[in-house]
Amino acid sequence: MTEAKTDIKSLYPEEVAGLLKEMGEPSYRASQVFTWLHRYGAAAFSEMTNLPKSLREALDGRCRIPGCEKAAVQVSKADGTRKYLFRLSDGHLIESVLMRYRYGISVCVSTQVGCRMGCRFCASTLGGRVRDLLPSEILDQVYRIEADAGERVSHVVLMGSGEPFDNYDAVVRFLRLVSDPGGKQISLRNITVSTCGLTEGILRFAGEGLPVTLALSLHASDDETRKKLMPVANRYTLKEVLEACDTYFRKTGRRVSCEYSVVRGVNDTDKDAEKLGRLLAGRKMHVNLIPVNPVTENRFERPDPGSIAAFQKKLTACGVHATVRRELGTDIDGACGQLRAHFLNPGEGGTVS
């Protein structure tokens, strides 16, 4: 059996340099290769036209460039939001989304094929975790979307399918590579990593020296309610996960924000808002309220806009800054996983090109 080829697009610059040195190449070749991969998003060594043909062939013999191939895209007529369906080299499908804001273009990337966290309201977890994405595959979602849209991506959120801290090393590599001066150089301050609350991951991440924003998927203000929505709450109590966030803030100086999917009859009462307020006021954590997206396979419903506004008001009264997430792409809306489902079962409606 031949040895597996190296995923060159997941390597740090110094590792690319080490590889080329081993191949007997002068050091400037490493930065040429890195630039091709990360600034120009080259998908094949044959595109690297300023390298000698012999080197391109030698690289091709020992390395591979994993990436994403566009399978479908759905464009919102309302606001230009674009949902992409990408096919990976082994045939698995993942979704990514481009969103337009006043401050720039934000891309939401997936970190795993599927997810094993089991949150009851989330479509990405229905089939469990299929596999982790490679750093190169997380990066390529950004590179392909930037090339397709023809505009610079300024912000990235790790909120597609997958739990970032369940694929920790790949996510950290992704963050370092996407912000590398030799690549796309996306500012780490413009990147948000969202976690369902894997406490060890949060604590480890606090020591990485990466000035990104950490978002915690909280979704409840007591352990009992949280357990109904998120199996991860059986592993860590709210107290443990919030203390990990306190440590994160102490170590990094960066405030953690919370996501709270509001579900009718589950976590949307005045009392819930008050409890949440008490939990977060001293911590100065910002809350992002997300009216829950209905998923066919579950029975959760969103409260009417009036009760969400009342919930927000209550939080504000407790001294907690809260915003209701602006909904983009309402005409192509739906929870994560919808585009994939429509693509696989085209009879079920939705326009996919």
Q: Could you give the CA distance from residue 221 to residue 271 in angstroms, rounded to a whole number?
A: 10
Q: What would you measure as the largest C-alpha separation in the chain, in angstroms?
A: 69
Q: Could you give the CA distance from residue 3 to residue 9 in angstroms, rounded to a whole number?
A: 18
Residue 95 as a binder of ligand SAH (CB under 6 A): the answer is no
What sign for the dihedral angle of Cα 226, 232, 236, 241?
Answer: negative
Q: Are 264 and 302 in contact (CB under 8 A)?
A: yes
Residue range at the interface with ligand SAH (CB under 6 A); choices 36-44, 73-81, 188-196, 200-208:
188-196
Q: Could you give the CA distance from residue 125 to residue 119 in angstroms, rounded to a whole number?
A: 7
Residue 293 as a binder of ligand SAH (CB under 6 A): the answer is yes
x/- track of binding to ligand SAH for residues 201-240 (CB under 6 A): ----------------x-----------------------
For 311, the token pair is 């919930």
CB 122, min distance to ligand SAH, A: 4
Q: Which is nearer to ligand SAH, 8 or 295 (CB)?
A: 295
x/- track of binding to ligand SAH for residues 159-178 (CB under 6 A): x---x---------------
Q: Is 95 a catalytic residue?
A: yes
Residue 192 as a binder of ligand SAH (CB under 6 A): the answer is no
CB 186, min distance to ligand SAH, A: 19
Q: Could you give the CA distance from residue 50 to residue 33 in angstroms, rounded to a whole number?
A: 9
Residue 72 as a binder of ligand SAH (CB under 6 A): the answer is no
The label of the residue with tokens 């369906």 reads 85
Q: Could you give the CA distance from residue 162 to residue 151 in angstroms, rounded to a whole number?
A: 26
Q: Which is nearer to ligand SAH, 48 or 276 (CB)?
A: 276
Beta bridge partners of 69: 87
CA 304 to chain CA centroid, Å, is 28
Count of residues engaged in binding ligand SAH, rule: CB under 6 A: 16
CB 31, min distance to ligand SAH, A: 34
The residues near 242 (Cβ < 8 Å, ≥ 6 apart) are 216, 279, 283
Residue range at the interface with ligand SAH (CB under 6 A); choices 34-42, 95-103, 131-139, 194-202:
194-202
Which among 95, 137, 146, 259 is annotated as catalytic?
Answer: 95
CB 59, min distance to ligand SAH, A: 35
Q: Coil, strand or helix: which one is 153? A: coil
Q: At what angle do helices 305-317 and 270-281 cross, to 10 degrees?
A: 40
Q: Which is nearer to ligand SAH, 42 or 258 (CB)?
A: 258
List residues binding ligand SAH (CB under 6 A). 119, 121-122, 159, 163, 194-196, 217, 259, 261, 290, 292-293, 295, 335
List active site positions: 95, 336
